[in-house]
A and B are shown apart, each in its own frame.
Chain A
């Protein structure tokens, strides 16, 4: 059983188990710093080359996250679980919910092949990044030679990790492939657990146990992990968003606050399961997408979507991108002067914050509008415009200082500030001697706004 949250391990306890040589071979200069990193969950005991075996085991017990990590895919490419907290403001989340798409493998393997190719090539861009699916879920009835060929194809064509739902037994030829590709094996329930445990141990693949009740999930998982399997929990309450989300929450509360070891495993969910939609206006994809977002918010470590299109995936990636970032280190870019296009002494000067999303939106809009200008990125400590003002992170003085970077590059001292900075206008003008213009509400309107004010001076290269 892992330590309960209230019995917080102190860095000193961890430090005492370290060699104390401050050799720096783990990548941080001192053993004390390493102790903090262990507790934060960013370093692992194995990174210290001078630990005695005894101390390493002791450390593992002390610093392992309550929710175990499970790696799957070739070489353990994808890691899920490893979480320590119910709320990101208490302790950050580590491993973003893995998002996969399901393929039903029936008689027509050709269809499955073309679908798999499309899934492998699928891309969606949200915020500042482009994503593909993290894994592919194959729903196979049996595992014969045909299906085995398909599994190999998924690996060769997409290189994606897999979760495979099968019924036993599997053909003997499959064992080598499974052992190599390390998919999560799905389909174990109370009736066939023993056989699945044998297979999972034999091919060293994680095992997903499935049940409608938290209680049974716990029993199945304890049995499987006591025999050496890596376990994934697959709850299937079968009654809509609220039923599914309550079950996820129950499992995670049990794991983190009650130390129930049988539930200290990553969770795999299918947001589309039995989600009848009583309203024709709304298509099925919306319900699956909303349920999926609820699962990303509430502790699903992997989720399988029934289809792959922009509407069902993009919102989930957008949520995941921010929600799994470290709240103590907001996504930020380096403050400084960014030169867009080929500006000259007559070009506009635009100012924004160094919150990554704000920066990428503003610079993206300027580039899309083919604008040449100087973009001054002020250090707002990674906060968005509104939050920077509300938190007093940016003031007239700070803005005046960052404007010095562009001094001498333009003839006329006038700068466009984000609308959220309007109330700093006077302060900035006084502190910097620059004339302040307040930009449009939406950065998408920046190019046309600038074109009006800097007639003939904003065209890109």
Chain B
């Protein structure tokens, strides 16, 4: 027992580090999900519903946003999935620096611990996940907790980035050229490049807030010549690219799943990689001002970044074509849960991505900015499409990871409940936003026309919640009681399925070699 525990908490093996990441991020997801339900309960009726104190609501919302993005999605994608998949996909025994890898996961856990302190400290942080000054500087809430949560998780992903980029560059199996990498490896690598360039900027931004608040510096203090918008620029300079750090891996895992369940070559592989993925990396740094369309930035920059933002639809569109095209003349098996999630993902992502288009046009954003329309947009694209992708990925790798099978029926019921719930909840939310419901409202007493819509939303979110809980329960049940899984249950061609299930330490007794006509998506050779 002691040995087992030691081999887990002191582990440097990439698969175990990955599972630790998964545990941490799912924990964050559950808590943030409970916050979401509390938020929904509070908003169901006009006036105070389950709490009389607006600040309590604000703390929930702070935790919900920060934990979902920083504690759940980024770690689940660039922590868990990157760790579990990348070394297996490129045929490496481990990552380049196993100890650094373990350091990264534990820093992430310390960030989670700090985030959890929100619920026990007096004056918890109430700065929302964006932490704009001057409010974050003058509030009585504990902004330092926000700063350190962001810093620790940010630093964790910087060192993960260093680690994985080195791994991908130097540790590919013999014979595996660049054009034989899985889409997931490409996309996550690109995501890490984005992390390395932009996370430090976020780190600086939140640190400057702490300096202003606790050391008395003047960065954002207008009375001594500081400027409040500097922070917003620094913050979004990271946080817009961050949505692509989320987007690239989650889109890529859907690529893996669709290719596997269609047993088909990825459509236009090179264009997806060099046009799509790297197109996004290229444009991602030039669009942050679309979050500042209503802050009075100079006109030229608003118009300029409208154009760059709209142009993001080009690389993203190429990726969507690649994704849908992969199904062309495939042998599609829709009966498995991961594939169902993947198909659901496509529709949700289309809705979410396309509603980004009106946001990107400043003259339309003047009306919808900071309303529920925005909240609806990003819940479609990130909160549910992203979560669906993560869930699809977990279901997909589940047999390999745990050595057991999950229950297909429960998996599918869970999928359908959350798919329906999502559309009920977040479509309604966009409608409300269009009609002028501002976000971050504890109460909407003067906007009584929205009460019925808010109720509909609550019903929808309960459906989503049940669906998600079924999925979580399914995994726990499967990991303990499921039947034994074969080595390659989906018949995939990719390298990660060639090891035994579950993979031993070191992954393969002998590092695999790939030959000239091998390709992770080449099913036809036979």
**Do these two chains really belong together in a complex?**
no
